[in-house]
Amino acid sequence: MMTQLSLEQKKAKYGEDLLEWYFHIQRNLPWRENHDPYRIWVSEIMLQQTRVDTVIPYFLSFIEKFPTIQHLAEAPEEEVLKSWEGLGYYSRARNLQAGAKMVMEQHQGQVPTTKEEVAALKGVGPYTCGAIMSIAYNEPVPAVDGNVMRVISRFFALEDDIAKPSTRVKLEKLVETMIPEGQARYFNQALMELGALICTPKSPSCLLCPVMDNCEARLQGREHELPLKSKAKKARVEYRAAVIVEGQGEHEGKVLVRQRPSDGLLAGMWELPHVLVEGDQAALYAEQLKEQPLLGQAISEEMHKRHGLLVKPREWFCDQDHIFSHIRWNMRFFLADSSEVQSHVGEDVVQTIAHTTAQTAAAAERTYSTDQIDPTDHIDPTDIMQNVTTEAKLVAESTEDYRAITAQEINMTPELRYIRKEDMSTMPFPNLFLKILQNYWKTKGV
């Protein structure tokens, strides 16, 4: 019969069994080649929310491109984001670079060695701090992420809600007392490995588990029930209309992209222009035939207001969803012509725009006001160009003024750029737009 162990004995046994197992099974991962704190820092940031297999090629090319903290700190942000393209959660890359700059400015280019200084680096939370302190410096600092919370909650059959920050703090204190002396480096990695390979969220392999003998969840038959985790708030759905504006004339063969602001969601990255669709238009989003002109109208209006461009959506290209942690974008993409199309092939249209009288503009404006549109009306997309002018100062201007202002505004809008496929090799795009653009170039045989 098995003897009951005290809590302290259980913890000691846990450390022994776990380390013995880890020394046998540990994987050869590129960031484990040495204990360089920079490499550990980069790998831990990349591994957040991302699988090991996905991270390996990113890690290797990132380290090749930015072999030292100095290289990373001095690189253009766009280059860093480009190296992160496809990994998602791009604020991680920006924060990593900001942290590298702090190391250059405040620590003479060396990752600091105290917990307080490491924790003060931009983008370094308690988990990453614990990983750097323990793996690089073998300091007994816990590194508790979702995997570790699951493993420990099961082992002790804890009933705390792991979605709560207070549970994380409690578990950090507990894990700190479990680290075998002088083994912090391996103990923390072993815990992570156990969570990744054996004590997985949905199907824990208890029979292969090195700590199964004393695991309370297994002994109580509750390994599938624990840990307890309250449901995260549902992501907010946003409907968005986007355009692939095909260049004409000197921009033939190119498409228009814009750069996002330097802070906020997907900061600094490139995208296809798009607009949030609200109210009645959002309700019509799913009705393929009816909403297209309305969505086209929304994006035309936005492009004009924001960038001084007259954009005319021509045909539906595709629908695509994109999920962030807190928002879900339901996007509809249209192929579109830009104002240049009108100047080159539709002289009469430009003339019409330029000489629209104030009276007709006012009348058109009433039609254009979105809250007066009857959503059951079918609005011909070819009306959009004229409708757009009703918003604008362009209405009363001559053709020449119109062209001059449009050109000037394009040049003065640094976040807009016409690009070819090959230009994408240096410009960071979020996955969503990367995918759409790749599909688009494919349809063009590029």
**Quick check: 211 binds ligand SF4 (CB under 6 A)?**
yes
Burial 247-270 (b: 16+ CB within 10 A, else e): bbeebeebbbbbbbeeeeebebbb
Shortest Å distance, C-beta 167 to ligand SF4: 17
Extract the tokens encoding 147.
Answer: 């995997």
- Provide the minimum distance between the beta carbon of 125 and ligand SF4 in the complex, in angstroms, as a whole number: 25
Closer to ligand SF4 at the Cβ: 21 or 429? 21
CB 310 within 8 A of CB 300: yes
189 touches 26 (CB < 8 A)? yes
Tokens of 284: 């019509």
Among 215, 266, 311, 424, binds ligand SF4 (CB under 6 A): 215
Q: For 153-264, where are the E strands, in sequence order? A: 236-246, 255-259
Binding segment for ligand SF4 (CB under 6 A), chosen from 26-34, 100-108, 206-214, 409-417, is: 206-214
In angstroms, give the least distance from the CB of 128 to ligand SF4. 24
Nearer to ligand SF4, 26 or 438 (CB): 26
Binding flag, residue 11, ligand SF4 (CB under 6 A): no
- Of 72, 103, 144, 151, which one interacts with ligand SF4 (CB under 6 A)? 151
Note whether 206 binds ligand SF4 by CB under 6 A: yes
Q: Does 218 engage in binding with ligand SF4 (CB under 6 A)?
A: yes
Nearest to 44 by CA among 126, 162, 167, 139: 126
What distance in Å separates the CA atoms of residue 306 and residue 239, rounded to the nearest whole number? 19
Shortest approach of ligand SF4 to residue 150 CB, angstroms?
8
19 binds ligand SF4 (CB under 6 A): no
One-letter amino acid at 340 equals E
Binding of residue 22 to ligand SF4 (CB under 6 A): no
Helix, strand, coil abundance in the chain, percent, nearest 5: 55, 10, 35
| Residue among 146 and 346 whose Cβ is closer to ligand SF4 | 146
Asked if 154 interacts with ligand SF4 (CB under 6 A), we say yes
Please list the residues that pair with 327 across neighbouring strands: 236
- Identify which range of 54-62, 110-118, 131-139, 202-210 contacts ligand SF4 by CB under 6 A: 202-210
Interface segment toward ligand SF4; rule CB under 6 A; list 50-58, 94-102, 200-208, 373-381: 200-208
CB 149 within 8 A of CB 194: no
Nearer to ligand SF4, 84 or 156 (CB): 156
| 117 carries an active-site annotation | no
Q: What is the nearest approach in angstroms of ligand SF4 to the Cβ of residue 47?
A: 20
CA atoms within 13 A on the CB side of 330: 13
CB nearer ligand SF4, residue 200 or residue 386: 200
340 binds ligand SF4 (CB under 6 A): no
Distance between CA atoms of 218 and 226, rounded to whole angstroms?
10
Using CB under 6 A, which residues numbered 385 to 444 contact ligand SF4? none
Q: Is 217 in the site for ligand SF4 (CB under 6 A)?
A: yes
Instruction: Choose between 160 and 337: whose C-beta lies nearer to ligand SF4.
Output: 160
* Interface with ligand SF4, residue 87, by CB under 6 A: no
- Cβ 77 vs Cβ 94: under 8 Å: yes
The Cα–Cα gap between 404 and 398 comes to: 10
Min. distance of Cβ 151 from ligand SF4 in angstroms? Answer: 5
Q: Report the residue number, 179 or 194, with the smaller CB distance to ligand SF4.
A: 194
Give residue 388's region: left, alpha or beta (phi > 0; psi -120 to 50).
alpha
C-alpha closest to that of 332 among 270, 256, 239: 239
Q: Which one of the listed residues 44, 172, 291, 301 is annotated catalytic? A: 44
The answer to whether 212 contacts ligand SF4 (rule: CB under 6 A) is yes
Please report the DSSP string for 234-263 in residue order.
PPEEEEEEEEEEEP-GGGTT-EEEEEPPSS
Maximum alpha-carbon separation in the chain: 97
Count of residues engaged in binding ligand SF4, rule: CB under 6 A: 15
Least distance from ligand SF4 to the Cβ atom of residue 427, Å: 44
End-to-end distance of the chain based on CA atoms, in angstroms? 71
Residue number with CB closer to ligand SF4 (187 or 402): 187
- Residues with a known catalytic role: 44
Contacts to ligand SF4 by CB under 6 A = 151, 154-155, 198-199, 204-206, 209, 211-212, 215, 217-218, 223
